[in-house]
Amino acid sequence: GSLIPPEERRLRDKKHLDDITAARLPPLHHSPAKLLSIEESIAIQIQQKEAYEEMQAKLAAQKLAERLNIKMLRFEPEGEASMQYREVRDED
C-alpha cells in the first residue's frame, strides 16, 4: 500500500467519522485538569467552604428580611385601607 502522511490520514479519518456519526464532543470551556498538592487542595476546599457558608448566611438573612417585611407591610392600623373605607363611606 501507499504511505499516507499523518496529517492527511487524520483528515480522512475525521471526514469518515463525520460521515458515519453526528455525535460531537462538547467544546472545551475550561482548562484541562491539573495536579495539585495536598496543601493547595486543602486551601481551595477551605476557601470554597467559607464562600459557601457566606452565601448561605446571606440567603438566610435575605429570607428572614423578606418574611419580616411581609409582616410589617400587612400591618396598617391607620393606613390606606381605613382611609379608603372612610372615603367611600363619606361619598355614600
Q: How far apart are CA 10 and CA 16, in angstroms?
A: 10
The three cell numbers locating residue 25: 464532543
Residues 9 and 17 sit within 8 Å (Cβ to Cβ): no
Q: Which domain holds residue 50?
A: 37-67
Low-confidence ranges of the chain (pLDDT < 70): 1-2, 22, 69-92
The reply to whether 63 falls in a domain is yes
> Per the domain annotation, does 3 fall within a domain?
no
In a domain, 43, yes or no: yes
On whether residue 28 sits in a domain, the answer given is: no
Predicted pLDDT at 67: 82
In a domain, 14, yes or no: no
Determine the pLDDT at residue 60: 92
Model pLDDT, residue 29: 78
| DSSP state, residue 3 | -
Residue 19's pLDDT is 73
Q: Does residue 76 lie within any of the structural domains? A: no
If one counts the domains in the chain, the total is: 1
- Tell me phi and psi for residue 61, to 5 degrees: -65, -40
- Domain contains 62: yes
Residue 56, domain member (yes or no)? yes
74: exposed, middle or buried (Cβ count in 10 Å: 0-12, 13-18, 19+): exposed
Q: What is the pLDDT of residue 28?
A: 74
